[in-house]
Amino acid sequence: MFPAGAQSTKPQRFLRAFALAALLLGATRIGGGALPQAARHVTLTLLSTTDLHGHIFPEDDVTGAPANQGLAKIATLVRGIRAQHPNVMLLDCGDTIQGNPLAYFAVRMLADRPNPSIAAMNELNYTAMAVGNHEFNFGLEVLAKVRREAKFPFLAANLLRTGDGDAAAIEPYVIRKLADVRVGIVGFVTPGVQEWELPENYRGYEFEGIVHAARRVIPEVRAKSDLVVVIIHSGFEGDPPALQTLAESVPGIDVIFFGHTHRELSGKYINGVVLAQARNWGRSLAETDVEMDQSAEGVWKVGAKVSRTIPVTAEIAADPGIVAIAKPAHDASQAWLESVVFRSAVDLDTAAARIEALPVLALIHDAQMRAGGADVSLATAFNTRLRIPAGPVTMRQIFALYPYENTLFTVEMTGAQLRAALEHAASFYPAWPARGGSLHLPEYDADTAAGVHYIIDLTQPVGRRIRELTFQGSPLATDRKLRVAVNHYRYYGGGGYTVYRGLPVIRKSAVGIRELLVEYVRGNQALLSGDSKANWRIEPREAVEALRVEARR
């Protein structure tokens, strides 16, 4: 109250109005209901990594040279964004604990210590991670261990327990508040796990189709959330592509971060859903900014959504906190990687591995046939940019030659079935003469064989390219029984090799093919003479020369 006769000044009138407004905001209506709150606007910054595959340090796994990748550099980006924006959430789309020497060493040699990738993610305060197919590579015990260590949930709404075995339940989704906005985060894993992985590594789980699971789960999450974010380990591959169908036909999704394909994408919209994928190995960070508006009644509405990817460059320093966390495991793995496994009499060069039989592939074939007691071996060069000079070969170079955690199967198959497998491998090659004047080299699904001789004729249509297929000097009879060594990924249909499915398994290795390769070369130094065993070739010669030119690009 002002004294009688006093005049209120402008500041006094302002303070009086402000006090009255504050009083009204704190008041309650008759009947106990709160008065409507003022409208509000916030920006949420959502970040995602994917397919880190154990890459923490900014270095090349093969050479050890500096490289613009790794979680330590990503951490610097994340901390910088958090310093500038108040409402930040960090997510990951899977394939985290497998894929490089450090990841292998941490699981196999340092099993009693915290996993360095998970420890680094804990330090960065990840909110959630989708399960990737490679999370199953080391088996369920390892998966359970890293889940226990993680301070964030692993999510997979389409991963269901079957009651067979001791598989632990994995959460389908979580709801977290960010600036008072309820953010529902739903995870999905590619059902391809059951096609590529050893059954014992996912026993107790079954994989529901992604779209089918989404139609079951998304409405439930939508009802509890203001913003729905999907983190999914699956890309645009497939017929129909699950990711495309998910965005087009499942209502209620606002944002999708995805992984698995090792490609970068941002700025893509499908049916109003914004999609983004970071590059693999921590080579970029995906960001989606979402504008949220709250009505006076307290209801949040999703506004504009913009995505981008932020590249990891040489100018970005590695975060010292992340480096310190992973350094003990990293240093131990580096010493192990520099150990010499054997001495090679010749250069081991993979550049032409899709074009001709080479000593480097003969090494893998010989190891597989010896370990598997096989007549024939099928294998591929995973890396066609590898050149190991004659002389000492280190464990690091063995990893570069065989980077995957594959197990060896020896199966019984007929000559006709082997021909079908070789025809499928030949189908990845371009036709000759080249259509449109260009050629493409096949990727790692194009297997080669040892133990038989054959010609790949690129002038013939797919399915009729294998000529002069012989075994032990004679034409291979269609009903001839053979023991054939293949990796488990192929046996379960990986790369489209459906011919192996259901074939009798004669032998299964207890360790991975990389370990078998190391064991073979250490015990058979005299065999490393450089004999290329040129048991197959491509025709015509003009096609070979054109492919050589392409390989040198």
Point out the least confidently predicted range of 185-199, 339-353, 430-444: 430-444
For the chain, the domains span 44-287+303-332, 340-551
**Once rounded to an integer, what is the mean pLDDT over residues 113-142?**
98
Q: Under 8 Å CB-to-CB from 10, ≥6 apart: which residues?
A: none
Helix (H) or strand (E) holding 371: helix 359-372
Query: CB–CB of 281/73 below 8 Å?
Result: no
What pLDDT score does 437 carry?
A: 57
525 has pLDDT over 70: no
CA distance 191 to 244: 15
Residue of 271 and 39 predicted with greater confidence? 271
**What tokens appear for 457 in the block?**
């004729």
Mean pLDDT of the chain: 90
Q: How would residue 9 be classed by pLDDT, with cut points 50, 70 and 90?
A: very low
**Once rounded to an integer, what is the mean pLDDT over residues 455-483?**
97
Pick the CATH number of 340-551 from 1.10.357.10, 3.30.70.1280, 3.90.780.10, 3.30.70.260: 3.90.780.10
13 has pLDDT over 50: no
20 has pLDDT over 50: no
What pLDDT score does 236 carry?
A: 85
**Once rounded to an integer, what is the mean pLDDT over residues 83-109?**
97
Q: How would residue 239 be classed by pLDDT, with cut points 50, 70 and 90?
A: low
What pLDDT score does 24 carry?
A: 38
CA distance 247 to 428: 31
**Once rounded to an integer, what is the mean pLDDT over residues 75-103?**
98
Closest CA to 160 of 193, 185, 138, 134: 193
E-strand ranges in 254-370 read: 255-258, 265-270, 273-277, 284-294, 300-311, 340-344, 348-349
The neighbour count for residue 40, using CB atoms within 10 Å, is 15
Q: How would residue 62 be classed by pLDDT, with cut points 50, 70 and 90?
A: confident
What pLDDT score does 551 carry?
A: 85
Point out the least confidently predicted range of 17-26, 68-77, 164-173, 421-430: 17-26
Pick the CATH number of 44-287+303-332 from 3.30.420.40, 3.60.21.10, 3.30.70.20, 3.40.50.2000: 3.60.21.10
What pLDDT score does 2 carry?
A: 34
CA distance 486 to 131: 27
**Once rounded to an integer, what is the mean pLDDT over residues 148-155?**
98
Point out the least confidently predicted range of 35-44, 170-179, 197-206, 355-364: 35-44
**Once rounded to an integer, what is the mean pLDDT over residues 322-331?**
98
Point out the least confidently predicted range of 24-38, 172-186, 453-467: 24-38
